[in-house]
Amino acid sequence: MKVLTARFVKSALHPADFPADGRPEIVFAGRSNVGKSSLLNQLLGRRGLAKTSKTPGKTRTINYFAVNEKVYFVDLPGYGFAKVPKNLKETWGAMITSYLKGRPELRLAVHLIDARHPPTKNDHELLALLDEAETPTLLVATKFDKLKQSQRAAAINSIRRDLELDADALVLPISNVTGDGIKDLWAVLDEQIAAF
Ligand SMILES: Nc1nc2c(ncn2[C@@H]2O[C@H](COP(=O)(O)OP(=O)(O)OP(=O)(O)O)[C@@H](O)[C@H]2O)c(=O)[nH]1
Ligand SMILES: [Mg+2]
């Protein structure tokens, strides 16, 4: 999809604040600092649209971005660092859990995993939650630029093994620094968006 317009719409903390126009939503979820906000900017080709930081815990609200006035990209707070909510179920926020479980507009989840580290307990919980909600989920391995060529295939395989993924499930490697993999990710998103 050619991104013609991309704009920040609002930060939400309660369902009452979510947009009510029924547009389909794609959510970006994962560990704090994994690169969710950076990926949103990469995909939209708009530097600084979503605020990023090298310190974990930057995104604190559910942030809505309108893309071509057609679909919302939704940036979530991350989980898993001491300074930010620790346990997905208890403290990542009832608000986020209920968003992921009960938002009819949510049509696709992009679950980001740091390619350098094994998935965490929270990653497992998130995947189970999305599975339970029957939300189509796309796994993306971020920070691929930080791995040596020789480490890359093994990193993807170990994520696949750890999460016990089906043979046909995709884990797309990307880098928000070099832009590698972004085109491939867009190809998958385009396919999904066309089916919304
Ligand atoms: N080398 C490298 N750095 C990245 C990549 N993606 C993000 N970063 C860096 O990682 C840090 C965190 O990025 P964010 O996009 O703010 O991460 P986030 O997942 O939105 O984090 P929270 O909002 O805290 O949940 C920033 O310093 C980014 O520049 C990547 O693909 N490669
Ligand atoms: Mg963020």
**Is the C-alpha dihedral spanning 135, 138, 139, 143 positive or negative?**
negative
Task: Please name the helix (run of DSSP H) or strand (run of DSSP E) that holds residue 98, with its range, or none.
Answer: helix 94-102
Q: Is residue 33 part of a domain?
A: yes
Distance 34 CA to ligand 1 centre (A): 5
CA dist 80 and 166 (Å) reads: 25
C-alpha neighbours within 13 Å on the C-beta side of residue 134: 1
Using the atom order of ligand 1, give the atom closest to the CA of residue 56: 24
Phi, psi of 191 (to 5 degrees): -60, -45
CATH number of the domain that 175 lies in? 3.40.50.300
Beta strand extents in the chain (DSSP E only): 6-12, 25-30, 62-67, 71-75, 106-114, 137-142, 171-173
User: Quick one: average pLDDT of 11-30?
Assistant: 95
pLDDT at 86 over 80: no
Q: Which tens digits make up the pLDDT trace of 45-67?
A: 999 999 999 998 888 889 999 99
* Distance between Cα 158 and ligand 2 center (Å): 25
Domain membership of residue 1 (yes or no) is no
Query: Could you list the residue range(s) of the whole structural domain that residue 42 is in?
Result: 6-194
Whether 93 is in a domain gets the answer: yes
- The residue that leads in pLDDT, 95 or 110, is 110
Q: Which residues contact 54 (CB under 8 A, 6 or more apart)?
A: 33
Q: Which atom of ligand 1 is nearest to the CA of 40?
A: 15
DSSP 103-151: -TTEEEEEEEEETTS---HHHHHHHHHHHHTT--EEEEEE-GGGS-HHH
At 92-108, the pLDDT tens digits run: 677 888 899 989 999 99
Q: The tokens 């707070």 sit on which residue? A: 77
How many domains, the chain? Answer: 1
* Ligand 1 pocket test target in 28, 31, 32, 33 with most atoms within 8 Å of CB: 33
Question: Is position 79 within any domain?
Answer: yes
Predicted TM-score of the model (pTM): 0.96
In a domain, 187, yes or no: yes
- Ligand lying closest to the C-alpha of residue 173: 1
Closest-lying ligand 1 atom to the alpha carbon of residue 54: 27
